[in-house]
Amino acid sequence: MRIELSGTGRRFNQDWIFRRADLSFTSGEAYALTGPNGSGKSTLLQVIGGLMQPSEGKVTYHQDDKTVAPESIFQHVALAAPYLEVIEEFTATEFLEFHRRFKPLRAGRSVQEIVDRIGLAGAAHKQIRQYSSGMKQRVKLAQAFYSDTPVLLLDEPTSNLDATGIQLYKDLVAEEGAGRLLIVCSNDPVEYEFCNTVLSVMDYKPATTRR
């Protein structure tokens, strides 16, 4: 999988968040998107992931030298992010079972095994609404890491995680990240120490943000 941005920009109303981004992302590589709070990391990540339309330029996905149809891009992408909600009425088991109907699990993985792996076996019968913020974050990470997609997008992946949770995140990167295209949005080097390319959204700021 290869993702190409050409002349890509996004604005909200009259304010440009980033402009003229010419970027290429390739499977088997891990990228970090950095920048201060409010600089546009999450916006850029959502544009890369096809969750938000660019205001100018293009985002294209290429697989085996064929261009992926824009309406199919979502099938190739898994995202964990603070702004993505989980269905709180479900237990973790129910939520992962529900999600796999739309995005299959990676080969050989079962929901039971995943719940155990993320340390929630003892809470598997509880509704997610009763989970702590760190437990919810583990569910979000599991949903993304264990989806059978070539592209894995992680926005602030260790939000609300304790030391054990941060280690779990690192282990998931090692276990489930190999060969995929990873992009991590973060200001914390702990979250992106494995990334071979570190990009700053500040490099794509126009001289003036208004036009």
**Is residue 35 within the footprint of ligand ATP (CB under 6 A)?**
yes
Q: Which residues pair with 66 in a beta bridge?
A: 63
CB-nearer residue toward ligand ATP: 124 or 198: 198
Q: Please, are residues 95 and 128 in contact by the beta-carbon 8 Å criterion? A: yes
* Both tokens assigned to 176: 């489930």
**Is residue 38 within the footprint of ligand ATP (CB under 6 A)?**
yes
CB-nearer residue toward ligand ATP: 17 or 77: 17
**Is residue 210 within the footprint of ligand ATP (CB under 6 A)?**
no
* Both tokens assigned to 31: 């990228």
Binding mask 42-81 for ligand ATP (x = CB under 6 A): xx--------------------------------------
Alpha helices in 1-129 (DSSP H): 41-48, 92-100, 111-117
Cα distance between the two ends of the chain:
35
**Is residue 203 within the footprint of ligand ATP (CB under 6 A)?**
no
**Is residue 179 within the footprint of ligand ATP (CB under 6 A)?**
no
Q: Specify the stretch interacting with ligand ATP by CB under 6 A; choose among 19-27, 38-46, 139-147, 192-200.
A: 38-46
DSSP code of residue 69: P
Compute φ and ψ for 65, nearest 5 degrees: 65, 10
Q: Of residues 40, 157, 165, 177, which one binds ligand ATP by CB under 6 A?
A: 40
